[in-house]
Amino acid sequence: MKIIKKGLLFVLMLFAFTSCSLLFPESEPEVSTVNTPRSFTRAQKRVAIVNGTDYIRRKVADQLSNRGWKVSGAMTGKETFAIYFDQLDEITTKTESRTDYYDGYGSYKYSSPTSTSIRKENYGYVTVYDMRTKKRLYVYDITSDSEDRIIQGIIAAMDKLEENMI
C-alpha cells in the first residue's frame, strides 16, 4: 500500500511541476545569431550604445557596467562591440472614447466623460556589431516589445557574446 501511495504521489508531483511550467513559461527574447563572434579578453569588454531612447540606453548601460563592461554613449574608436538600434521607430496611439446614453424613445439623455488611453509601440531592430571585424553578430527584432523586454533582449545578446570571452 505504501508503494502505491508513493507512486501516486510521484505522479501527482510530476503533473504539478509540468503543468506549472506550461502555465508560466520562461520566454526569453529571441536573439538571432548572424555571425559567430571571435573570442575576446576581459580588457576588450568595451561597448558603445548608438541610438535608442534615453531610458533604454541608461538601463542597458547600468546593467552592462555592473557586469564589468566599459560602456560609452558614442563611437570613440576604442570600443570592441557596438549595440546599434536599426530603423528604430516608436508609434504612439491615442484613443479617446465616450459613451452616449439615450432614453427608450431615442432621445439623447447624457454622455459619460471622455476616457483617453495612450499606447506606445516600438518598431525596429537592435544589432550587436563586432567593431574589430565590422560584422553583425546578433539581431533582435523589437517589434511591439515593451521597453523592459527590449532591455532583456539586449542583455540576452550580450550574454551570448560573453560566452566567447577567454
For 11-45, what is each residue's pLDDT tens digit? Answer: 777 777 666 555 555 577 788 899 999 999 999 99
* Mean pLDDT, all residues of the chain: 85
Q: Which CATH architecture has domain 35-90+122-162?
A: 3-Layer(aba) Sandwich (3.40)
**What's the N-to-C CA distance of the chain in angstroms?**
56
Q: Residue 121, Cβ neighbours under 10 Å: how many? A: 14
Task: Give the pLDDT of residue 20.
Answer: 59
List, in order, residues 6 or more apart from 71 with CB less than 8 Å away. 46, 47, 48, 49, 60, 61, 64, 65
Question: Is it the case that residue 68 has pLDDT exceeding 90?
Answer: yes
**Can you give the pTM of this predicted structure?**
0.68
Task: Give the pLDDT of residue 161.
Answer: 92
Which pairs with CB-CB distance under 8 Å and at least 24 residues apart come from 62-70?
63/151, 63/155, 64/155, 64/158, 67/158, 67/162, 68/42, 69/45, 69/158, 70/45, 70/46
In this prediction, residues 48-59 reach a mean pLDDT of: 89
User: Is 97 within 8 Å of 114 (Cβ atoms)?
Assistant: yes
Task: Give the pLDDT of residue 158.
Answer: 94
Cell 511591439 belongs to which residue?
144
Task: Give the pLDDT of residue 30.
Answer: 84
List, in order, residues 6 or more apart from 30 with CB less than 8 Å away. 140, 141, 153
The alpha-carbon radius of gyration of the chain (Å, integer) is 25
